[in-house]
Amino acid sequence: MIQVLDGGLSTTIQDLGRPGYYHVGIPLSGAADIEACTIANWLVRNEADAAVLEGTLLGPKLQFHADTAIAVTGADVEVKVNDTVHPMWEQLKIKKGDVVSFGYPKKGARIYIAVAGGIDAPLVLGSRSTYLAGGIGGLSGRRLKEGDSLSTVQQQGAPTAATHGAPAEQLRDGSSPTLLRVVSGLFSYRLTDRSLDAFYNDEWKVTNESDRMGYRFSGGRKIEFAPRPIPPFGAGSDPSNIVDAGYPYGSIQIPGGIEPIILHRDAVSGGGYATIGAVISADMDKIAQLQPNAKVRFQMVSMEEALEARKARKHRLDTLRDHIKRPV
Amino acid sequence: MTMVSEYSFGGDEHLFVKISESMSIQAFAKALTIAERLKAKNIDGVTEICPANASLLVRFDPDVIAPEKIKSITEEIDGTLSGTATNIDTRFITIPVFFNDPWTTATAQKFRDRRQEPDLSDIEFAAKSHNMASVDEFIHRYSAAPWIVTMVGFVAGLPFCYQLVPNSEQIQLPKYLRPRTDTPKLTIAHGGCFCSYYSVRGAGGYQMLGISPAPIFEADSKLTYFQDSMIFFKPGDIIKYRPISQKEYERLADEANKGTLQLDIKNVTFSIEKFMNDPSQPNLAIEEK
């Protein structure tokens, strides 16, 4: 059993998500940084899709009531077991009674805490992921709070075989400004050429109104939509309005031309604003680690480049898995 | 009317099919039919098929199916559909609504600086902008003709509905100038030409008209109409609103809490062809089975 002594700012149970229900408005959810979640699981010899804890900025404080192994990945934080600092990206042995706590991220925004055996929660539509807006999954569809207790799917107590730590040079590059690659399309023709250029040339900053549903950006030039004499029937009068349509994960919309919003794992599944493209799958994890005020640039890429980047990410992760899980 | 779809990719995992730039029942029917035929093909690597008002979103795993491949399969289905009118086998559901209720009115007041006419309630604004003499006239117009669910989404289980009347008679309202951060759960609201029924409490930009006692998204519900799914509405469902008093609202809300609330649900066939021939008589296009 794991006792929650402090829930932190926004800590939820997440796995790799809940596909298949987007057509009724239930998003994937799942770890915002899938790579970090996957590595944390491998480090404690879980399958990649075991449920973990995702902490945001201020992590939780946890007390373990059985011997176990954990791993902490994601944002760069100080990990303390009782009063001793321990490394991230490695398996940590935990003794019954140990208290684990986390510092504020020096870099990045979300940490992942994997526990040997995987965090337990009822499967809702096939997943343990928390979907906050819908109040389902995880722990009653909500954030962790003081007094909660968690259990693991597989009994704790049995020793977990050691693993190799993830080498820093094989982790994702975290340089600033963060480069997000975008396949342009969807309703991008609604922008003026000048504004399309501005979007891809200007430097943008993450605003405070950013969460698992969407990340919002400011700091670039105002975006103008191409004028239209009569709006299409049912679209609404603002030039950024469309007849409500599905929103891809990673899609970028700019309501009123003011602040671009990128939809993330808890995306709203559709709405009435023109989307101008979507961030490629290989760069979605990077968004999860953006702190408020972090700088971002957007780069237009082709489908071929997007697929190349996806392949490169998969290759890097396969190499990491083989390294981590190789017998010690 | 021939509609030529436009295809585009959303990143490397989505195909977006824009059936039409403007809303029409034909565009919706086409989106729904393509979605159903794609689903029936059970294509490996396709993880989500989401029909919307006048478009379709498909999510796929490009490691399993190449983007161009899923595009060509969808185009092929699309190509066989032009000119075909469709019958939809669906449900006809009567939804009780307490229009002009105190809760959504209070919420509108709280966000008055984000609205077109801060001194009117949303429903008063809706009546005025359609040159109606009273809110009652608006309520009558809203509940006289049925609505068809043309999209489910935004948040879990929220339906977007299109009224089955000629385009010239569609109610059209602007959305809030800036979206609200709060909307009561089960609010009935209107934006553009669409009615929405807020499944959960949360942000929103549609003009609020009333509130229903009937939950439409509930995990582990005791209500019998949730027996198939925690999400009640499906695209194609037809809804008719029945105005109720505060007293009846309170009684039905209490039944909903106890898990005994029943909804009037009939199985029907909706003929799009008949409706298109005479949109002023939608009831002639709906046949009980």
A255 lies in some domain: yes
Rounded mean pLDDT, B261-278: 94
- Lowest-pLDDT range of A206-210, B39-43, B103-107: A206-210
Query: Which carries the bigger pLDDT value, residue A145 or residue B83?
Result: A145
Same structural domain for residues A157 and A207?
no
- In the predicted model, is pLDDT for residue B212 greater than 70? yes
Q: Give the tens place of pLDDT for each residue, A164-183.
A: 999 888 888 888 999 999 99
In chain A, how many domains are there? 2
Does some domain include residue A327?
Answer: no
The per-residue pLDDT for range A285-327, each reduced to its tens digit, is 999 999 999 999 999 999 999 999 999 999 999 999 999 999 8
Which position has the higher pLDDT, A256 or B73?
B73
Asked if residue A39 belongs to a domain, the reply is yes
Average pLDDT over every residue of A56-84: 97
pLDDT tens digits, one per residue of A233-255: 988 778 888 999 999 999 999 98
In a domain, A267, yes or no: yes
- Looking at per-residue pLDDT, the higher value among B84 and A111 belongs to A111
Q: Is A137 in the same domain as A252?
A: no
The answer to the question of residue A26 being in a domain is yes
Residue A283 domain flag:
yes
Cα end-to-end span (Å), chain A: 28
Q: Are residues A151 and A183 in the same domain?
A: no
**From the centroid of its chain, how far is CA B189?**
11
Nearest C-alpha of chain B: how many angstroms from A298? 13
Q: What is the 3-state secondary structure (H, E, C) of A192-258?
A: CHHHHHHHHHCCEEECCCCCCCEEEEECCCCCCECCCCCCCCCCCCCCCEEEEEECCCCEEECHHHC
**Does residue A44 surpass a pLDDT of 70?**
yes
State whether B16 and A23 contact (CB < 8 Å).
no
Residues of chain B numbered 144-173 and touching chain A (CB < 8 Å): 151-158, 160, 162, 167, 170, 172
> Is residue A323 assigned to a domain?
no
pLDDT at A236: 79
Q: What is the pLDDT of residues B115-150, one digit of tens each?
A: 889 999 999 999 999 999 999 999 999 999 999 999
* Claim to verify: residue A9 and residue A134 sit in the same structural domain: yes
Averaged pLDDT of chain A = 95
Q: Is residue A319 part of a domain?
A: no
- pLDDT of A156 above 70: no
Looking at residue B205, its pLDDT comes to 87
Of B79, B53, B104, the C-alpha closest to B209 is: B104
Q: Note whether A107 and A64 are same-domain residues.
A: yes
Cβ-defined contact of A249 to B9 (cutoff 8 Å):
no
Of the three residues A144, A166, A188, the one that is the final residue of a domain is A166
Q: Who contacts B195 (Cβ-Cβ below 8 Å, separation ≥6)?
A: B142, B147, B160, B161, B162, B163, B188, B189
Taking CA–CA distances from A188, the nearest residue in chain B reads B8
Q: What is the C-alpha separation between A39 and A196, in angstroms, rounded?
A: 37
Tell me, yes or no, whether A284 and A215 share the same domain: yes
Give the structural domain span for A149. Answer: 2-166
On the question of pLDDT at B4 being above 60, the answer is yes
Q: Which of residues 221-240 of B touch A (CB under 8 A)?
A: 229-231, 233-234
Q: Is the dihedral of CA A131, A132, A138, A143 positive or negative?
A: positive
Pairwise CB contact (< 8 Å): A244 & B24 = no
User: How far apart are the C-alpha atoms of A220 and A204, rounded to whole Å?
Assistant: 6
C-alpha B140/C-alpha B131 separation (Å) is 14
> Residue B1 above 60 pLDDT?
no
Q: Which domains are present in chain B?
A: 6-84 (3.30.1360.40), 89-288 (2.40.100.10)
Residues A145 and A200 grouped into a single domain: no
Taking CA atoms, A142 is separated from A13, A69, B18, B104, B152, in Å, by 9, 25, 36, 25, 23
Distance CA A311, CA B84 (A): 41
Could you say which of B35, B54, B152 has the minimum Cβ distance to residue A243?
B54
Q: Given a cut of 60, is residue A225 above it in pLDDT?
A: yes
Co-location of A42 and A119 in the same domain: yes
Residues A185, A187: Cα–Cα separation, whole Å: 6
